[in-house]
Structure formats: structure tokens, C-alpha cells
Structure 1
Amino acid sequence: MATNQKISNGFQVNRSLLVGGVALTGIGSVLGAAGAALVCAALFNAGRSWVRSLETPPSALAQRALHEARVASTAGWEAWRAEHGSPN
């Protein structure tokens, strides 16, 4: 058989099957990557349209949460200082 190549101790590999398997695996990988890219694009577009439909933009929500955190931190610090009488 000309398509078989003998590799040590009688182990024979059918090259045509090997090449076919490699080719199908490569094609499958390319199709899988294309499918993953399409899924990511669809999710990205859905997320963008969802953010646009919000009444308050996420940046304003983040600024409000940061302001509230700073106010709470300052209030906690002032309460601690009042309790312990620290001049710092």
C-alpha cells in the first residue's frame, strides 16, 4: 500500500485519512471561530441597544454611586473621629 507509511515497530498511519482529518479539523475550527465572532457581534449590538434604552446612562449611575461612597466614607470617618476624640 503506497498510502501507508510505516513508523517504528509496525505502527502504520494512513496518510490520506490523516490529511483528511486535519483538513476537516481546520475547516471546523475556522467555522467555529466565525460562529463565535457572530455571537459576540450579536451580543455586543444587543448590549449597546440596551444601554441606549436606559433612562439614566451608566456613567451617571457610576458617578452617583462614587459620590454616595465618598459621602458614606466621610461620614464614617467623622463618626470614628468623634467617638475616639482623635485630632487627625
Structure 2
Amino acid sequence: MSNTCPTVKVVAEVTEDNPLGFIVINESDLTENQQIFVEEGDAGLTDNAKMTVPQIKDALTAAGIEFDSTANKGALLLLLNAGKQG
């Protein structure tokens, strides 16, 4: 059995070596300074990625979604986006 860590795509500089404009990192490594890369078809998720952790927590609370108060931005965004899609 392998232990896998959830990953997220974050915005990165578009270069010759990185023409898509994103990199993949472990969700646990996501920081406030990084922006989630939103692909076409992910309508409505762009604004969430720009939110701060306190804003995300407020939105989760307003939606009645429980969360771990120590969760990082990536985990909180996943909860918020899942709540908006479901």
C-alpha cells in the first residue's frame, strides 16, 4: 500500500520549460502566497482561490460546513469547493 499525499496545481511563471503556467505541489505545502491554478471548466472556483484563510473559514462557517481550525488553505479550499459543487 502506498501513502499518497493530496496535490494541488498552483500558478507558476509560464516559461519554455513550463508552458502550462502551473506546478503541482503537495496540498500540505500550499501557502497564503500561492494561487490555485484554475483550468477552463472550473467555473466559480477562481474567486475562491483568491480568498484568504480567514475569508475561506468565514465562508465555510456561513455555509454550515465543519472544518479543522488548524487546516491549511488547500484543505479549506477543497472543502469550500466541494460544498459549492455538491
Which bracket does the TM-score occupy, shorter chain normalised?
A: under 0.3
* Larger helix share, 1 or 2: 1
The answer to which structure, 1 or 2, has the higher relative contact order (CA under 8 A, 6+ apart) is 2
Larger radius of gyration: 1
